[in-house]
Chains A and B, each alone.
Chain A
Amino acid sequence: MSHVLVIYTDDEPGVLTRVAMLFRRRGFNIHSLTVGPTERVHVSRMTVVVDTDEATARRAVEHLRKLVNVLEVQQLGHGRNVVRDLALLRVSTRQGRSEVLQLVQVFRANVVDIADDSVVIECTGSLGKIEALVDSLRPFGILELGRTGAVAMARGLRSEDSNRLAAVATVAPGSSGAMSV
């Protein structure tokens, strides 16, 4: 069963190592991990998809909450999230470019590069959609596949709720620039 955790952290060198190390050390199996900046300065946001049971996911949350660099951890409820992954695929067009392009349309993906005998396709969507696209294109020959891992957000949050999180996330970092590794 996969669980989606959203982790707000200080934007400092080494924080990713701390989070990754925690997952490794406690034996939590990471399916994907993405990290990027947020609407707030000095705050990063990670989306981690873990393959585990509910109890273990909850324990992972409690462990994450012990990291000094972690501001807040949310475990997204099932079904009430937007989960998006970005994939780039280089697909051979030797067996028919038009069929490939048709599939691109069906999946509402985009062609972002065209070469002699291949195209690069960009697709954003749920994990399921991307997997379906990959499966459909496989017979044509996938020459290269790159995926970002999931970015996720809860659906239907009222603005107060998001503000509360923002408040948590902007507790001033105590060290003015002491680099945490």
Chain B
Amino acid sequence: MDRTGAQIIWECLLREGVETVFGYPGGAILPTYDAMTEYPIRHVLVRHEQSAVHMADGFARASGRTGVVVATSGPGATNLVTGLATAMLDSIPLVAITGQVGSGLLGTDAFQEVDITGITLPITKHNYLVTRAQDIAPAIREAFAVASSGRPGPVLVDITKDAQQGRATLDWEGAAPTRHLRHIPPSPSQVDLDRALAMINAAQRPVILAGHGIQLSGARAEVLALAELAQIPFAETLLGLGAVPASHVLSLGMMGMHGESWVNQAIQEADLLIALGMRFDDRVTGRLKEYAPNALKIHVDIDASEINKLVPVDVPLGGDLKQVLQAMLPSVKAADHTPWLERIRSWRGDSAVRDIKNLPDDGHLYAAHVMHDLWKITKGEAVVVTDVGQHQMWEAQYYHHDGERSLITSGGAGTMGFALPAAIGAKLARPEAEVWVVAGDGGFQMTFAELMTAVQEGVKVNIAIINNGYLGMVRQWQALFYEGRYAATPILSPDFVKLAGAFGIHGERVEKRSDLEAAVARARQQPGTALIEFKVEQEDSVYPMVAAGAALHDMIRRPSPSPIAETGADPV
């Protein structure tokens, strides 16, 4: 049957299993929007195209399915850039479809013509410029295959207006993709597997570095089997939180710049690091020269270009994590590392860290209180979507994630403005989940127009704004490294309660810890999106901290004496 290119687009999306797309119309994509009404696909109209990508991203992170974005040419397409880069750095499968000027006008600087395939070349896994209706189906099918196979990532398909208007027969079978199969990583050699096994079976002080790849590969059970069998403690990257359960006895907690001191200490003193689906980002290694100097290193990653990129490893295991672990598990020997685990436990006990959540309610509200109480009230079962900054780190430290895909956060790019739109996408992917936004006063103001999207789409998310009156994380750096010169970090906010009112949603303000629980309960009970502004201590900082470029064990602790006492004990 002959179809228009626009119909082929929707037909392909439907056949790819797409139920929801996030987008914004415009001239060059109008034929596609015009055909949309014929297809049972939900379109979520955003308020800014960047948010459309974050929504599709949140949708993908919450569900594991590929998120889909639709936008027009020119400014519509360029507004996608930050979202695509965010997804690229965190390996999130997305397909973005953009309209483009007619093929006859390409290269003429026509109205709303922008070379979006050129612009997005380094921030997509692959992209396409399609100029004929018959080329649409092969491009879209391949885009989905590329986005979700191997190490996932975003793919952009730019389709000219005449290709959308032209006619072609949809040859679904003929459009079956193959090129994404060209570089499926080989399984590691038996020799390397054996070397890794020998190291694992001989290690005295092993640590597993648990990364996002565990989630992407669906390898949670295998990782836990390895850890339990050989009694290997595991430390998580930011994106690894929730990939393995925080409450597991072998879980150490988050590593890196704002990781727990005992976790970083364990990494520095380990004799074997088993890196699983993580990429030794500078935020987790500290100064490379002094990183885990005594450890042999095994690195499993589906992206071979990540292995030996920053940290030279002893055994490279390129391949899908789940498969690699399945191949190794039968030969892993049961082990007992009690002395090592005890040692780490003693560091944990000794570290008079930053435990402010046991403080008496002295009238001050600290972000850590909010995170801790939110964790308790939601029983750790919410999907939390954070923005970027101090609140993001406090969330990571105090909300203990057991469930898979329960923390959604922009790690690699650190994109402010991510939380609200990503949370809307997450809620649409998992309507049964309780979704919380945790955002700073700064980041929330970047994309809060999406509140109206939530209202228009009838999406319920709960929002915790951590209002400290500053671009807090930057202020913290200014306090620590720029002698307290707060250049451009004090930030005013609107009256968030009135703002909520303007959007027609529930809103309230909490300034005392004693008011928190009731406010959270009211927000949860609201049928629609609800917002709570938490007025927190303005100049609090996130501790401990590894300064950029310092060695991992060289952590800045909460200054003492300090207005904030530290208890050291892990509270319940």
Residue numbers of A with Cβ under 8 A of B are 10, 14, 17-18, 21, 25, 55, 58-59, 62-63, 65-71, 171-181
Contact = CB atoms under 8 A, between A and B. Distances in A.
Nearest to B305: A62
Interface string B160-195: 000000000000001111111111000000000000
B142 interface: yes
B135 A59 contact: no
A25 B121 CA distance: 11
Contacts of B304: 62, 65
B141 A174 contact: yes
A18 B121 contact: yes
17 contacts: A17-B118, A58-B308, A65-B183, A65-B305, A68-B142, A172-B178, A174-B145, A174-B179, A175-B138, A175-B177, A175-B179, A176-B135, A176-B138, A179-B130, A180-B127, A180-B128, A181-B118
B65 interface: no
Contacts, number: 97
Nearest to B179: A174
Contact of B179 (A14, A18, A59, A171): A171
Given A66-B183, A175-B142, A181-B118, 15 more contacts: A17-B121, A59-B305, A62-B305, A66-B303, A67-B126, A68-B126, A68-B146, A71-B182, A171-B179, A174-B176, A174-B180, A175-B139, A175-B177, A178-B139, A180-B127
A150 B130 CA distance: 33
Contacts of B129: 14, 179-181
B285 interface: no
A68 B180 contact: yes
B125 to A, nearest CB: 8
Main SS of chain A's interface residues?
Answer: loop
Given A62-B304, A178-B130, A181-B129, A173 B135 contact: no
Interface in B103-137: 117-118, 121-122, 125-132, 134-136
Contacts of B182: 68, 70-71, 171
- Sorted nearest first, the 4 A-B pairs with minimum C-beta distance are A175-B138, A62-B305, A178-B135, A178-B139
Nearest to A180: B128
A21 B121 contact: yes
A44 to B, nearest CB: 15
A173 B142 CA distance: 10
